[in-house]
Amino acid sequence: MTSHAQYYEENLHPLQDKILKTANSLSSPFYLTGGTAETTIQLNGKEIPVRMKAILHCDKNWGIGKNNSLMFRLPKDMSFFRRTTKGKTVVMGKNTLLSLPEGKPLKDRTNIVLSSSLEKDGKSGFIVASNLEELKAVLSRIDNEEIYVIGGAMTYRLLLPYCDEALVTKVDADGNADAFFEDLDKNPSWELVEEGPPEKDGEFTIRFYRYKNKQPRKL
């Protein structure tokens, strides 16, 4: 079994200046925007809606993990993950953060962690959002409109309706998972728009898929 520690090894520390600055500037109490208005950011004087995508790999049963670890070692997929999320904002749940080496955030990305229990000290190189409303408030203050939801199961479940796309790497194996992503092939709100060829990744065969949400909920 591959731990998050091994999988994300190359993505880690040192903590980036930008992340720390962002975290510190957001550590003061939040003033929630509330309401049902779309979450937007100001970029070059324009209001831009925040766009959220889920990124994950899963086994043939849509299993994504076991014992708070990843189930496969997939160098090619890891490199795709790194390329896609570099310079962007990533949102993860507390368990996913804790599964990273020393519980440290991913480098070269602004890291937001959903948690009702973690300290909001602004010193750990990540931003804590303790509920969905707080997450929206945080996102509206970040100078990056591309947000990637990177897991785990609970966090995907919460944020999937707001995602406009899901980038799914399917592994042709059964990992005997205990954590699952929703089966998008059975969800009428989602459609498959891209399907890559089968390719070797380590000892496994993978395929890259892109799904589109026909009606993403406004963040």
Binding site for ligand NAP (CB under 6 A): 4, 56-58, 64-66, 68-70, 92-96, 99, 114-118, 130-132, 150-155, 158, 179
Say if CB 215 and CB 33 are below 8 A apart: no
Residue 204 structure tokens: 């496994």
Question: Considering the complex, what minimum distance in angstroms separates the CB of residue 132 from ligand NAP?
Answer: 5
Question: Considering the complex, what minimum distance in angstroms separates the CB of residue 133 from ligand NAP?
Answer: 9
* Closer by beta carbon to ligand NAP, 19 or else 168: 168
Residue 153, burial from CB neighbour count under 10 angstroms (0-12, 13-18, 19+):
buried
* Closer by beta carbon to ligand NAP, 21 or else 86: 86
Question: Considering the complex, what minimum distance in angstroms separates the CB of residue 24 from ligand NAP?
Answer: 21
Say if CB 57 and CB 77 are below 8 A apart: yes
Question: Considering the complex, what minimum distance in angstroms separates the CB of residue 17 from ligand NAP?
Answer: 26
* Closer by beta carbon to ligand NAP, 42 or else 176: 176
Question: Which H, E and C letters describe 46-84, residue by residue?
Answer: EEEECEEEEEEEECCCCEEEECCEECCCCHHHHHHHHHH
CA 60 to chain centre: 20
Question: Considering the complex, what minimum distance in angstroms separates the CB of residue 137 from ligand NAP?
Answer: 13
* Closer by beta carbon to ligand NAP, 43 or else 132: 132
Question: Which H, E and C letters describe 103-132, residue by residue?
Answer: HCCECCCEEEEECCCCCCCCCCCCEEECCH
Distance CA 59, CA 218 (A): 29
* Closer by beta carbon to ligand NAP, 143 or else 146: 146
* Closer by beta carbon to ligand NAP, 27 or else 130: 130
CB atoms within 10 A of CB 52: 26
Question: Considering the complex, what minimum distance in angstroms separates the CB of residue 178 from ligand NAP?
Answer: 7
